[in-house]
Amino acid sequence: MNLTRRSLAATALVLASPMAPLLSSVAHADDREKLAAKGVESLHLLEQTEPRARFFARHAQAALVFPSILKGGFVFGAETGNGVLLVHGRPEGYYNLTGGSWGLQVGGQDFSYVLFFMTPDSLDYLRKSDGFSAGTGPSITVINQGAAAAADTTTVSQDVVAFPFNGRGLMADLTLQGTKITRIHPR
């Protein structure tokens, strides 16, 4: 039994070792000015390439922008990235997105994510909890590019609307399942 546990642990370490640089990026948060500038730039890029995003940006209480999320996996997967909370276009806070998964997966990707906080309650939850885990707290609707979801008064009533975009690399499943968003304090 002990040999089996050690074998599993060793296998997990070997499989997870390519993920080590990805996970270590959590400790190296971009400084505030760079992260805020990248966030504003990424939000403008999304609004230029996705007409529905302009609608949500106009109606949102705030936008949490992750300019670069690195996601990779080989059986075990991980993702991480730092972002900025923009309230009326001004940076109010900084957050880290971290997640893990396991299953049939292989590949790597760098992509951007914007979460539009549509209701005052969802934004208050983010502020008071210093973050949240997907599946707890406000409900999140993910709108993937090419999906037929409409931007109208029905979708504006959602707590949080998320847009993954600007992907480079090859990996499926751009969801927020198993993801934790935590407040950080970059330099």
- pTM comes to 0.76
Answer yes or no: are the C-beta atoms of 176 and 134 closer than 8 Å: yes
Q: Are 187 and 31 spatial neighbours (Cβ–Cβ below 8 Å)?
A: yes
- What string of pLDDT tens digits covers the 187 residues of the chain? 444 444 333 334 434 444 444 444 443 445 899 999 999 999 999 999 998 899 999 999 999 999 999 988 877 788 899 999 999 999 999 999 998 877 766 788 899 999 999 999 999 999 998 777 776 778 888 887 654 444 444 455 689 999 999 888 765 554 555 788 999 988 7
Range of the domain at 26: 2-184
Q: Please choose, from the candidates 155, 164, 179, 181, the residue with its C-alpha nearest in 3D space to the C-alpha of residue 45.
A: 164
**Domain count within the chain:** 1
